[in-house]
Structure 1
Amino acid sequence: MTTVYDGLPFPRTDLARAATQFARENVHAAIFNHSMRTYLYGRFLGEHRGLRPDEDYDDELLFLGCVLHDVGLGPKGNGDQRFDIDGADLAAEFLTKQGVDPERIEVVWDAVALHLYFEVASRKQPEIALVTEGAGYDLGPTGPALPPGYADRVHAVLPRLHTGAVLYDLVVEQALAKPQKAPLFSFPGELVRQKTGDAWPTWRQLMDKEPSWHDYDGYRPRTG
């Protein structure tokens, strides 16, 4: 069941309401608003391709993936993994407690865990792909243009509150406290590198670091 909330369509099932409250209580207001806008933009991008809510995809599942996709950036989701994986685990834990079927939980887990990997997520089912696409659109609206005035309506209800800057700060803050949350060459790792100015090792340096299999000993690069 979908209704209009301050002029904007959101699923209003009991589960959607519970997930909204859970996200609101567990992430920064800017991240919560970003998560809600992610659904609106994901749904818009789906409709632009002719995908109809609750006909071509499960609208409640899309909403759950969107509203929960950044819960790993809140204190409750700040574990020892990258924030996307911690968030997926926390989302699954929440949905399990709500009595959601494992098959549906798996879709949401995938949507949250894959939302930083556009090339992978975009080839998945709409309930996964549109989370990534909607989140990306909210941070940089490339692609089809929104209807005139729609962004203003969305921002009036869900103000940006410096979303991009807050997202950066939260990812870096977590990773500086727990370096394992920002592996080399990952999205969190790149944000930390930008913050600290530290240089990443080259591939050769990684391969030569002890303990090593010494794959470069005696190696002659191919030519021609």
Structure 2
Amino acid sequence: MADWHVEFELPQSELAVAALQFAEGAEQPYLFRHSVRGYLFAREIANHRGLRPDVDYHDEQLFLGCVLHDLGLTEQGNGDQRFEVDGADLAAAFLREHGADDSTVAVVWDAVALHTSDGIASRKEPEVALAQAGIALDVMGRGKEALTEGFAERVHSAFPRDDLGYVIADAIVAQAMANPAKASPLSLAGQLLRQRLPHGTVPDWHDLIAGAGWGDRRTAVPGDHG
């Protein structure tokens, strides 16, 4: 196992090691490194909040949720659903094949499926909430104050970013371009796709309401001079 596995004290159960190897084999290197960083940052957030591993949250479940969270952006996990849900289904199948109990499968499915869902994941189990927070910190830097001095530098030295924020957006858009069913207009994929295509190609909220056929009309709102 790589030196960083010991340096960062990653979970070493049989299931955790198998999941790490599965993710590394399925994902592009930039995506795999993001998945590990998401766990490391999630664990730091937990420490910052005074949450104790295997007392206040299940550390192995948190690890699994983070390490497997982007399987929907792999060739193996690329189906006809939102990438988050495709990834959750693949993660659940992997866990069942490796003898995980129903509780672990359920928690990890939620962690993967909800990792882009602000305001929802935070209300779920602590493993789900922490996974979403750690992943968001890695992508957008949100919650950096939870990190101890020098920790981010250590993590980035071991797991280089490779311009993650832009590269992962390209991967999500590429899937959506190939299969529009993966990009509901109100999903992250739909939002990213709308930025890349000519205006009006992907419907926005008003387009969806206009197409509903109920005859709803816009009401005046403060600052709206249209």
Structure 2 gap ranges (5+): 222-226
Q: SS of the counterpart of 2:86?
A: helix
Change (3 A) 1:56 1:195: same
1:68-107 deviation digits (Å, cap 9, x = unpaired): 0001000000000010000000000000100111121011
Aligned equivalent of 1:78:
78
Change (3 A) 1:216 1:147: same
**Counterpart AA for 1:215:** W
Aligned residues: 217
Change (3 A) 1:175 1:54: same
Instruction: Report deviation, 1:125.
Output: 1.5
Q: SS of the counterpart of 2:189?
A: helix
Change (3 A) 1:202 1:173: closer
Aligned equivalent of 1:9:
9
Aligned equivalent of 2:128:
128
User: Is 2:45–2:146's contact at 8 Å kept on the other side of the alignment?
Assistant: no
Q: Distance in 1 between matches of 2:67 and 2:206?
A: 41
Structure 1 gap ranges (5+): none
User: Is 2:45–2:147's contact at 8 Å kept on the other side of the alignment?
Assistant: no
Aligned equivalent of 2:178:
177
1:165-207 deviation digits (Å, cap 9, x = unpaired): 2201110011100001011121100111111133244555434
1:69-218 superposed matches below 5 A: 69-143=69-143, 144-199=145-200, 200-201=202-203, 203=205, 205-209=207-211, 214-216=213-215
Change (3 A) 1:4 1:186: closer
User: Is 2:71–2:87's contact at 8 Å kept on the other side of the alignment?
Assistant: yes
Q: Distance in 2 between matches of 1:139 and 1:220?
A: 35
User: Is 1:111–1:128's contact at 8 Å kept on the other side of the alignment?
Assistant: yes
Instruction: Report deviation, 1:17.
Output: 0.5
Instruction: Report deviation, 1:37.
Output: 0.5
Q: SS of the counterpart of 2:23?
A: helix
User: Is 1:6–1:157's contact at 8 Å kept on the other side of the alignment?
Assistant: no
1:41-92 deviation digits (Å, cap 9, x = unpaired): 0010011110011111110000000000001000000000010000000000
User: Is 1:9–1:40's contact at 8 Å kept on the other side of the alignment?
Assistant: no
Structure 1, 168-177 or 158-167: larger mean CA deviation: 158-167
Q: SS of the counterpart of 1:75?
A: coil
Q: Distance in 2 between matches of 1:151 and 1:112?
A: 23
Give the TM-score, by structure 1 length: 0.90
Give the share of equivalent positions with the same residue, in percent.
Answer: 48
Q: Distance in 1 between matches of 2:157 and 2:208?
A: 49
User: Is 1:72–1:87's contact at 8 Å kept on the other side of the alignment?
Assistant: yes
CA RMSD of aligned residues (A): 2.2
Change (3 A) 1:153 1:221: closer
Change (3 A) 1:149 1:6: farther
Q: Distance in 1 between matches of 2:130 and 2:157?
A: 23
Change (3 A) 1:203 1:53: closer
Q: Distance in 2 between matches of 1:28 and 1:221?
A: 47
